[in-house]
C-alpha cells in the first residue's frame, strides 16, 4: 500500500468518524431505509434528524455509511463544486447529474434534491415538469423548494403528482439579490409573522418537512412547535427537529465560509494540502515509486 493510498483510506475513516460524531444521537437504528414517514415518526418521538449535503458518489457513500438520516443534494453545489458566487447559475441538468451520482451511492438515507433557481418560480406546470425530471432521471426521493405563499400553487401541483416536497423558509439563497445580504432573517415582527404564516401554508399544501435557515432561535422553536411536520434548521438554533450543514463546510474542505452556526468537525483543507505537498516532494526526490510500488 502506498503512502498516498494509506492517506486517503485514513481520510475516509476520519470522514466517517466525523459524520458519526455529528449524528451520534439522531440515528434511528431500527430503519433500513429512511422515508418521509420515518422523519415524521422521529419528530413524534423527539428524535433529532441529521441531514448533510452531498453531491458525488464517493462522499455520498461515506455519508450514507455513517448513518445519516437525510442527504440533501443542494444547489449549494453551485458554490462548493463549481465555484460560483451564488446558487443561481446551477441548472436542472446539473442537479440531476449530481443527484444521480448520490442516489447510486446510498442504501439507507432519504435523498432530497433542490429544485434550482428558475425551474419552479412563477409557473406551476414548469415546476411539476422539473420535479418529475428529477425523480425520473435521478431516482431521488423528494425535492426541495424555497419560498412561501408565492410558490404554494407549485407545491400543491407537485405533491398532487405524488412527489414529496420539502419547504425552505428564512434566508433563501436563491433570492439573494432580492435580500441583498446573507444576514439573519425574520428578526422583525412583520417578517416573523409572515414566516409563521408561510410555514403553515406549506404544511397545509402537503410539504413533509421544512428547512429553516438563519432565523432567530426562539422563532425557529415556535415554528417547530406550531407545525406537525419536522423542521430542519441551519443557523436556527437547537429547537428545530433536526439540523443540516454543508458537508464541505463541516469537514473543513472549504475554509472561506465561517458563519457562527458552522461547526467544523475536521480540517481537511490542511490535511489534503499536506498530503499533496508530500506527494510532490516524493515524486521529485525519486522516493515515489519505490521498489515495492512497481511491477
pLDDT (0 to 100) of residue 101: 98
Task: Please give the grid coordinates belonging to residue 200.
Answer: 403553515
Cβ atoms of 167 and 208 within 8 Å: the answer is no
pTM, two decimals, is 0.90
| Phi and psi based region of residue 38 (left: phi greater than 0; alpha: psi -120 to 50; beta: remaining) | alpha
- How many Cβ atoms from other residues are within 10 Å of residue 278's Cβ? 15
Contacts of 173 (CB under 8 A, 6+ apart): 75, 76, 86, 87, 146, 182, 213
- pLDDT at residue 280, as a whole number: 98
Contact status, residue 212 vs residue 236, Cβ threshold 8 Å? yes
- Give me the pLDDT at residue 181, please: 81
The catalytic site residues sit at: 213
169 has which bridge partners? 212
Give the 3-state secondary structure of residue 264: coil
Q: How far apart are CA 3 and CA 72, in angstroms?
A: 33
DSSP string, 60-126: HHHHHHTT-SEEEE-TTHHHHTT--SSSTT--HHHHHHHHHHHHHH-SSSEEEEEPPTTSSTT-HHH
User: What per-residue confidence (pLDDT) applies to 18?
Assistant: 66
Pairing of strands 49-53, 142-144: unpaired
| Cβ neighbours for 294, distance < 8 A, ≥ 6 positions apart | none
pLDDT by residue for the chain (295 residues), tens digit each?
555 555 555 566 666 666 666 665 544 566 789 999 999 999 999 999 999 999 999 999 999 999 999 999 999 999 999 999 999 999 999 999 999 999 999 999 999 999 999 999 999 999 999 999 999 999 999 999 999 999 999 999 999 999 999 999 999 999 988 888 889 999 999 999 999 999 999 999 999 999 999 999 999 999 999 999 999 999 999 999 999 999 999 999 999 888 999 999 999 999 999 999 999 999 999 999 999 999 9
Spell out the residues 6+ positions from residue 224 whose beta carbon is closer than 8 angstroms to its own. 212, 231, 239, 240, 241
Q: Which fold has domain 3-286?
A: TIM Barrel (3.20.20)
Amino acid at each position: 500500500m502506498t503512502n498516498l493510498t494509506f492517506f486517503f483510506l485514513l481520510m475516509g475513516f476520519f470522514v466517517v468518524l466525523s459524520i458519526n460524531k455529528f449524528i451520534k444521537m439522531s440515528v434511528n437504528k431500527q430503519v433500513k431505509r429512511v422515508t418521509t414517514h420515518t422523519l415524521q415518526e422521529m419528530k413524534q418521538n423527539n428524535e433529532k434528524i441529521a441531514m448533510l449535503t452531498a453531491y458525488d458518489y464517493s462522499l455520498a457513500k461515506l455519508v450514507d455509511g455513517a448513518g445519516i438520516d437525510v442527504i440533501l443534494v443542494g444547489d449549494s453545489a453551485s458554490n462548493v463544486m463549481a465555484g460560483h458566487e451564488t446558487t443561481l447559475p446551477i441548472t436542472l441538468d446539473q442537479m440531476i447529474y449530481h443527484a444521480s451520482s448520490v442516489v447510486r451511492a446510498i442504501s439507507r438515507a432519504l435523498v432530497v434534491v433542490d429544485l434550482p433557481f428558475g425551474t419552479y418560480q412563477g409557473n406551476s406546470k414548469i415546476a411539476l415538469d422539473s420535479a418529475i425530471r428529477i425523480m425520473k432521471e435521478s431516482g431521488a426521493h423528494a425535492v426541495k423548494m424555497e419560498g412561501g405563499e408565492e410558490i404554494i400553487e407549485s407545491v400543491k401541483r407537485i405533491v398532487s403528482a405524488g412527489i414529496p416536497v420539502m419547504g425552505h423558509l428564512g434566508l433563501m439563497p436563491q433570492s439573494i439579490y432580492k435580500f441583498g445580504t446573507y444576514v439573519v432573517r425574520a428578526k422583525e415582527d412583520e417578517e416573523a409573522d409572515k414566516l409563521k404564516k408561510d410555514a403553515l401554508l406549506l404544511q397545509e399544501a402537503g410539504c413533509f418537512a421544512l428547512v429553516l435557515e438563519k432565523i432567530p432561535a426562539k422563532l425557529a422553536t415556535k415554528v417547530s412547535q406550531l407545525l406537525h411536520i419536522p423542521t430542519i434548521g441551519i443557523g436556527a438554533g437547537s429547537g428545530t427537529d433536526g439540523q443540516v450543514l454543508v458537508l464541505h463546510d463541516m469537514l473543513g474542505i472549504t475554509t472561506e465560509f465561517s458563519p457562527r452556526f458552522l461547526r467544523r468537525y475536521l480540517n481537511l483543507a490542511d490535511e489534503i494540502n499536506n498530503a499533496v505537498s508530500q506527494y510532490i516532494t516524493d515524486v521529485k526526490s525519486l522516493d515515489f515509486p519505490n521498489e515495492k510500488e512497481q511491477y
